[in-house]
Structure formats: structure tokens, C-alpha cells
Chains A and B, each alone.
Chain A
Amino acid sequence: MQKQIVIVGLNHRSAPIEVRESVAFENSYVADALTRLRGYPSILEGVILSTCNRVEVIAAASDEKSALSEIMLFLAEQKAQRHAGALDDHTYTYHDAEAVRHLFRVAASLDSMVIGEPQILGQLKNYYDTAQRAGTVGTVLHRLFHRSFSVAKRVRSETGIGSGAVSVSSVAVELAKRIFDRFDDKTVMLIGAGKMGDLMARHLQSVGVKTLMVTNRTFERALAIAERIQGNPIRFEDFARYLAMCDLVIGCAGAPDILIDAATIEKVLRERKYKAMFFLDIGDRRNFDPLINDLDNVYLYNIDDLKSVADENLQERANEAEKAEEIVHEEVQSFIRWLASLEQVPTITALRQRFEEIRQREIEKSLGGDLKGLSEEQRAAIEEMTTAMVNKMLHGPISQLKKNSADHDDDGTLYIAALRKLFNLEKQ
């Protein structure tokens, strides 16, 4: 009997956050939950995946229908520990090829809220490791997960799904990297106390800028921010004097007036010998004169520009996702072929065939060589003897295989997979 792959889960599209939270598994509890899952009669192998956007149970089962209801029961039990309420409306179920496809899509980040985000693969690997340690992973899920990891890698390297920043501050950093080739000699100035500016300054700090200056109309706030993000506080009256030193300037002041105009920057540029400057105007109101962007070697992006770049990148990822779906499709086909090969009948046939081939070859060699002079009867006797030998040798393994399969033994597929590998039956 072939193992069937089933997935029951809920994600950011199928269920609201409260429901997802109610069934989420805490890290420390996953191993116990896996053991409990494995306790259900038709579940042979299982992996639990639980992130903030999805909770899924991936299982290999002896019977698909009963497995689905058992997993629902399992999830309901988990939910009951929090609070009651029907789960059915919020879950999706997949089996066989669809389940394989789903897992591959999850691993390749095609099912993520932000398509192409790279975290999901790491999470998947962690949960797979947990299941492996808990002993709930067998031949089928082992292969399924390792395939899904390599599908994810293929998708990442063959498509542009992970390229292009999709958040405002990562877009800003990406743009800065188009302008500057190193940051350890760059100075950043943050003007204003807006939240976005804080975030962006931190983001820039993570790429390792040399100096970060912070200024604000009220010096105390500048002091506070500077302390929080490890910058140098500057008095608001003085900030213009420091501009010539700055390569990146972030404006995030709530003030409705233009703090820096193009004429000022023209002077500043002369002073810094026209070394490139990058202005980020990311407050609710414009802090920088838009004409600044017309000056040579100066680039000005406001929050809307950054957002539209992020949106374009997101669109780009969606286009690349189509290519990725094709890769997934291919990989699902090849996985399903492997899964089907795990059935015992074709394996036994292939094994017999392999031995028979060997027998025939050796007989031909011997009867055509050293034993050329044998009579017809002697030849027949040798045929008979070798056939009996092969049958006797195969009798043990084959009856064991049949017995395993009849018992619904977990390891039936393991033996089949091992046999296929040991005797090189994969290609047939």
C-alpha cells in the first residue's frame, strides 16, 4: 500500500490572525505535539510547521480520508486548549500531487504574504529538523522535504523572485548601494524625529556607515534619538554647516516648511567638490526642495518614490513567480513519479527482472565460453539450477516486503526505497 501525502493547514489568506494564533504551536511544544500526531492510527509520518503566517500539518498516511479527519481532530484539540470555535471554515486540505505542490510552493516562498521573502525556507528547515529529532519523519517526508528545499533553491537561483527590495527602508538602502560602493567612509544626517527616519537610520547603520548625525528642532529630542541609535547630536541651528560632510541626508521632520533648498545644496556641492549626495525625504510633509534632484550628482527620493519602487519590485516578483510555478510543476511531476515507484508490485517486478537479467547474462557467458561443450541436457540442468538459485535468494526479501505492506508497517516504503537504491532499480 502506497503512503499518501496529506496537508491540513491555515495561512494568512484562509484564517484571521486570532484563529491562526489559537492553533499555533509554541516551539517548546512541537516535539510533544508531533508524538501525539504520530499516535493517530493512519498517520505514519508527520511534520508540523507553525509560523506567524501559517500553521500546517504535513503527513504521510496510510489512508487519506481518515488521515484528514484525524489531523482536523488533532488541530481542534490544540485549539481547544485555547478557546472553542469551528476550524473547518479556515483550513485548507491537500492530498497527493496537490499536497506536494503546496509544500513546494510554500518552500519557494510562492505562498508567502510577501512573495519571495527568504525566511520561510529557514523556518521550514527548522521544523523539519524538529520532526526528524522527534522521530516522526520517514522515507516519504524525508524525500519530500529535501526536494522542497532544493526546489526553493532552484527557484531562487533561476528566477528573480527574491530580487528587489519591497519595503521602503530596504529600497532606500538598495538605492544607496547603486550610488555608493562603500559605506564605511560615509556620513548620514537624520533631520527630525519621525518614526520612519529612525527606522531608516537604523537600516543604514546596519550597512556600516562611518558617522550618523542627528538633529531636531528641540535639542533634547535630538539627544534622546542620538542616544537610542548611537548617533552624534547636532543643534538644529548648526545643521546646515555640517551638510558638506554628509553623503546621505534623511529628512523626517513634521514641519510643513522646506528645510533645505536647492541653492543651499549648490553651495554645499561646490564645497564638497561635487561628491555625490543622496537625499531621502520621508516625512509626512516635504522637508527638501524637489529641485534638489535636478542638480548633478545629487539624488532626491521622497517617500512616494520609495513606495513606488517597492511596488514595482513587488510586481516584478509576481511576474517572476510565473516562472517559479513552472519549476514547481516540473518538480512535482518528478516527485510523484518517485512516490509511485515506492509501490511494492513494480518494485518486486523490477527486482526479479534485474536478477533474471544477471542470470541470463552469466549463463550466456559461461555456455558460450568454458562450458561450450555441454550437451543439451546439461545446459537445461544449469538453467534450472540457476533459476532455482535466484528464486531462493529472492524469496526472503520478497515475502518480507509483502508482509510489511500487508501489516501497514511504517517501514515498508523504507525497504522499498532501499531496495531500489541498492539494486539500482531507479532508472527502470
Chain B
Amino acid sequence: MTLPMDVLLIELTAVAYLVAAGSLFLYLFRGNVESRLPAAILLTGFVVHSLALIRLFLRQGFAAVALMGDALLFNSWLMVGIYLLIHLKYRLTVLGGIIAPLAFLMTFAAFAVSRGATEVPPGFQTFWLPLHVTLAFLGNAVFALAFGVSLIYLLQERHLKHKKLTLVMKRFPPLESLDRLNYKLLMWGFPLMTLGILTGTLWAGIHWGDYWSWDPRQISSAIVWLLYGALLHGRVTAGLRGKKAAVLTMVGFCVVLGYFLWGDAIFPSRHGGRFE
């Protein structure tokens, strides 16, 4: 159940993210926007976003995030929050150029994909729900940021290989920093994702007796988990870094995002808000 006030707050959030994205592009390509402005707009959007979520939680409890549209809201909120934390330390304004449009798409899509059940059945209302969902979404959010960092890395790398230096490039951090940050994000994201999968499996096993049900979400998670696991292993042991690492990070996140946007529509399941 969505009240007009919630709709308004979410619309405001989406608008703020869109404006933030616009100002970031102006900053990157035209250089005529003050560098602190985009992050400030993004922060404003984040505050409104937080208000919207607080209202949602107060009314429906944590169960809200089990509904598809609201899940996107929660996930994008975590993503923007973590970005703002990273920005505080690294001043990665460029990364905002990827996070802001992504956050806009996710909040915007929250309306579009908000279908299926509107009430969460009592079977789902246990402590497993917040635990599983928060861990899994934190993992997603960290990987969204790793995706952004990797994309910037690849753009920068391409410019350097092709010997073209542009104004945009001057805003990019050095490849070494990007690669290191990518590694750090993987180090955080992978355990979070692992815990997310573990709690989900345990929950399923205890409540439904099927640890593994070939739920499309389980399958896509397993694929991404293996991919990121291999990436982490390669990084630690074989010096898998730079371009290849960036490409793999991006592929992994695209699978996650793909499931979020379309997976549920194609394969209805427990994860997609169809609580059969």
C-alpha cells in the first residue's frame, strides 16, 4: 500500500538524483560546475530517500523490503549511502557520475516494477528477513560501486592506450587508485554476498525445508558468487588486476542488475514478491 506522501517523497528523491547526475555530467564534461555541488545535491536526495524509507518501515516494518519496488528503494539507498561514505574519504566525484544516474534508474524503476503481492505473508515475517535482505543488499550496493569504479578504470585505461587525453580524463583518479579501490570493494562485497547467500539458504532450509530450490535468484547469485570468488582468488594469488579485473567486476554486477530489473518478471519466485 503506497500513500500519496510516499509517492511524493520517492518522486522527489528520483528528481534529486537526476539533477545530481546532470550536475555531475556538467562538472565532468564542461568543467563549469563547482565540484562540491553534485555531491551536495546527491546528499539532499539521500536525505529525502531516507525519509521515504523511514515512513515505509514505520508502517510496514522490515517486511517492506520484500516487495519488489521497495526492495529497489532500499538497495539504491544503501548504494548512495556507501558512495557518500567513500566520497568522504576519497573525493571520488567522478564515481558519483555513475552512481547518481544508477540511483535515479533504481528509484524510478521502483514504481515500474512494483507489482505482485502488496502484503507480506506471516511466514516471511521473521528475523531472517531483515538479516538476509540487509546482508544481500549491502553486498549488491558494494558491487554497484565496484561496477562504477571499474567502468571509470576502463574508460581511463582506454584513453591512455589510445593516447587521447581529454578534459574528462583529468577528473579521473589514477588507474592505480581505481584498481586498489576496486580490490577493497571486492574484499568487502564478497563476504557480505556470501553471508547473504548463507542466511538465505539457512532460512529456506529451516522454514521450507528446501535449502536449494533452483530459484532463479539463487542460480544467478551462485553464478555471481563463483565469478567474484574466482576474481578474488585470482587477485590474491595470480595478480589478476587492472583491465581484466575491471571487466569481470562489471560482468558480475550486470548479472545482479539484470536479475533485479527483469529476473522476477520472467521467473516468478519467492524472491520476486510472489510468496507461493
A175-B160 in contact (CB<8A): yes
Contacts of B170 in A (CB 8 A): 163-164
Contacts of A179 in B (CB 8 A): 160, 174-176
User: Among B170, B173, B180, B239, which residue has the most Cβ atoms of chain A within 10 A?
Assistant: B239
Contacts of A301 in B (CB 8 A): 163
B149 → chain A closest CB, angstroms = 13
Q: Give the residue name and chain of the A residue nearest to B169 (CB).
A: A178
Interface positions of B from 158 to 181, Cβ below 8 Å from A: 160-161, 163, 165, 167, 169-170, 172-177, 180
Instruction: Sample 13 A-B pairs with CB under 8 A, ordered by A number.
Output: A160-B31, A164-B165, A164-B170, A174-B165, A178-B169, A178-B172, A179-B175, A274-B241, A296-B243, A297-B241, A297-B242, A309-B165, A313-B165
A160-B161 in contact (CB<8A): no
Q: Mark A279-317, 1 if CB is under 8 A from B, else 0.
A: 000000000000001001101010001001100110010
Contacts of A270 in B (CB 8 A): 239
B276 → chain A closest CB, angstroms = 47
**A312 and B165 in contact, given A273-B238, A297-B243 (Cβ under 8 angstroms):** yes
Interface positions of A from 336 to 369, Cβ below 8 Å from B: none
Taking the complex as formed, is A82 at the interface, i.e. its CB lies under 8 A from any CB of chain B? no
A293-B239 in contact (CB<8A): no
**A293 and B175 in contact, given A160-B31, A274-B239 (Cβ under 8 angstroms):** no
Which of A180, A272, A297, A313 contacts B174, CB < 8 Å? A180
Q: Mark A168-197, 1 if CB is under 8 A from B, else 0.
A: 000000110111111000000000000000
Contacts of A164 in B (CB 8 A): 165, 170
Q: How far is the CA of A308 from the CA of B243 in the complex (A)?
A: 25
A296-B165 in contact (CB<8A): no
Taking the complex as formed, is A275 at the interface, i.e. its CB lies under 8 A from any CB of chain B? yes
**A309 and B242 in contact, given A178-B156, A178-B174 (Cβ under 8 angstroms):** no
Q: How far is the CA of A299 from the CA of B157 in the complex (A)?
A: 9
A290 → chain B closest CB, angstroms = 12
Interface of B: prevailing SS? helix
A293-B173 in contact (CB<8A): no
A178-B239 in contact (CB<8A): no
Interface positions of B from 25 to 76, Cβ below 8 Å from A: 31
**A273 and B163 in contact, given A178-B169, A180-B174, A182-B176 (Cβ under 8 angstroms):** no
Taking the complex as formed, is A262 at the interface, i.e. its CB lies under 8 A from any CB of chain B? no
B241-A275 in contact (CB<8A): yes
B244-A296 in contact (CB<8A): yes
Contacts of B244 in A (CB 8 A): 296
A305 → chain B closest CB, angstroms = 5
Taking the complex as formed, is B240 at the interface, i.e. its CB lies under 8 A from any CB of chain A? yes
Q: How far is the CA of A178 from the CA of B180 in the complex (A)?
A: 14
Taking the complex as formed, is A276 at the interface, i.e. its CB lies under 8 A from any CB of chain B? yes
Contacts of A313 in B (CB 8 A): 165
Q: How far is the CA of A177 from the CA of B239 in the complex (A)?
A: 22
Contacts of B163 in A (CB 8 A): 301, 305, 308-309
Q: How far is the CA of A250 from the CA of B167 in the complex (A)?
A: 26
* Additional 9 contacts, C-beta under 8 A, given A179-B160, A181-B174, A299-B160: A175-B165, A178-B160, A181-B180, A274-B241, A276-B242, A296-B243, A297-B241, A301-B163, A309-B163
Which of B160, B173, B241, B243 contacts A273, CB < 8 Å? B241
Q: Give the residue name and chain of the A residue nearest to B179 (CB).
A: A276
Q: How far is the CA of A38 from the CA of B16 in the complex (A)?
A: 61
Binding site for B on A (CB under 8 A): 160, 163-164, 174-175, 177-182, 270, 272-276, 293, 296-297, 299, 301, 305, 308-309, 312-313, 316
Which of B160, B172, B242 contacts A274, CB < 8 Å? B242
Contacts of B31 in A (CB 8 A): 160
Contacts of B156 in A (CB 8 A): 178
Interface positions of B from 211 to 257, Cβ below 8 Å from A: 238-244
Q: How far is the CA of A312 from the CA of B159 in the complex (A)?
A: 14
A181-B176 in contact (CB<8A): yes
Q: Give the residue name and chain of the A residue nearest to B180 (CB).
A: A181
Contacts of B172 in A (CB 8 A): 178
User: Among B172, B174, B180, B238, which residue has the most Cβ atoms of chain A within 10 A?
Assistant: B174
A299-B161 in contact (CB<8A): yes
Contacts of B167 in A (CB 8 A): 160, 163, 316
Q: Give the residue name and chain of the B residue nearest to A310 (CB).
A: B165
Q: How far is the CA of A259 from the CA of B169 in the complex (A)?
A: 32
Contacts of A178 in B (CB 8 A): 156, 160, 165, 169, 172, 174-175
Q: How far is the CA of A308 from the CA of B156 in the complex (A)?
A: 18
Shortest 7 CB-CB distances between A and B: which pairs?
A273-B239, A297-B242, A181-B174, A181-B177, A274-B239, A181-B176, A305-B163
B230 → chain A closest CB, angstroms = 16
Q: Give the residue name and chain of the B residue nearest to A309 (CB).
A: B165
B162 → chain A closest CB, angstroms = 10
B239-A180 in contact (CB<8A): no
Contacts of A309 in B (CB 8 A): 163, 165
Contacts of B180 in A (CB 8 A): 181
A177-B174 in contact (CB<8A): yes
A351 → chain B closest CB, angstroms = 41
A373 → chain B closest CB, angstroms = 61
Q: Give the residue name and chain of the B residue nearest to A323 (CB).
A: B32
Q: How far is the CA of A299 from the CA of B169 in the complex (A)?
A: 16
Contacts of A274 in B (CB 8 A): 239-242
A367 → chain B closest CB, angstroms = 53
Q: How far is the CA of A182 from the CA of B173 in the complex (A)?
A: 11
Contacts of A160 in B (CB 8 A): 31, 167
Q: How far is the CA of A312 from the CA of B175 in the complex (A)?
A: 22
B152 → chain A closest CB, angstroms = 12
Q: Give the residue name and chain of the B residue nearest to A158 (CB).
A: B32
Contacts of A312 in B (CB 8 A): 165
User: Among A174, A180, A297, which residue has the most Cβ atoms of chain B within 10 A?
Assistant: A297
Q: How far is the CA of A305 from the CA of B161 in the complex (A)?
A: 11
Q: How far is the CA of A175 from the CA of B159 in the complex (A)?
A: 11
A293-B243 in contact (CB<8A): no
